[in-house]
Amino acid sequence: MISGGGTGGHIYPAIAIANAWNEKYPDSEILFVGAEGKMEMQKVPEAGYSIEGLPVAGLQRRLTLENLSFPFKLWDSINKASKLIKNFKPHAVVGVGGYASGPLLYVAQRKGIPTLVQEQNSFAGLTNKLLAKKASAFCVAYPGMEKFFPAGKIHFTGNPVRKDILAIADKKELALKAFGLAADKPVILVLGGSLGARTINNALLASMAHFEQQGYQALWQTGKFYYEEMSEKVAQAKMNDIKPVEFIREMDLAYAAADIVISRAGALSVSELSLVGKPVIFIPSPNVAEDHQTKNAMALVDQEAAVILPDHEAVEKLSAKVDELMNNTSLQDKLSQNIKKMGKPNAALDIIKELEALIK
Q: Is 271 annotated as a binding residue?
A: yes
Q: Is 9 annotated as a binding residue?
A: yes
Q: Is 267 annotated as a binding residue?
A: yes
Q: Is 248 annotated as a binding residue?
A: yes
* SS3 (DSSP) at 141: coil
Maximum Cα interatomic distance, the chain, rounded to a whole number of Å: 63
Q: Is 214 annotated as a binding residue?
A: no
Q: Is 127 annotated as a binding residue?
A: no
Extract long-range pairs of 136-142: CB within 8 Å, 24+ residues apart.
Answer: 136/358, 137/354, 137/357, 137/358, 139/350, 139/351, 139/354, 141/267, 141/271, 141/344, 141/347, 142/296, 142/299
Q: Is 121 annotated as a binding residue?
A: yes
Name the residue type at position 340: K
Q: Is 190 annotated as a binding residue?
A: no
Please state, in angstroms and rounded to a whole number, the distance separating the CA atoms of residues 80 and 284. 37
Q: Is 294 annotated as a binding residue?
A: no
**C-alpha angle 87/92/97, rounded to 5°?**
100
Q: Is 308 annotated as a binding residue?
A: no
- Other beta carbons within 10 angstroms of residue 126's beta carbon come to 14
Please state, in angstroms and rounded to a whole number, the distance separating the CA atoms of residues 25 and 163. 17
Please state, in angstroms and rounded to a whole number, the distance separating the CA atoms of residues 89 and 92. 9
Name the residue type at position 48: G
Please state, in angstroms and rounded to a whole number, the distance separating the CA atoms of residues 199 and 282. 12
Q: Binding site, residues?
A: 7-9, 121, 162, 194, 248, 267-272, 293
Q: Binding site for UDP-N-acetyl-alpha-D-glucosamine, residues?
A: 7-9, 121, 162, 194, 248, 267-272, 293
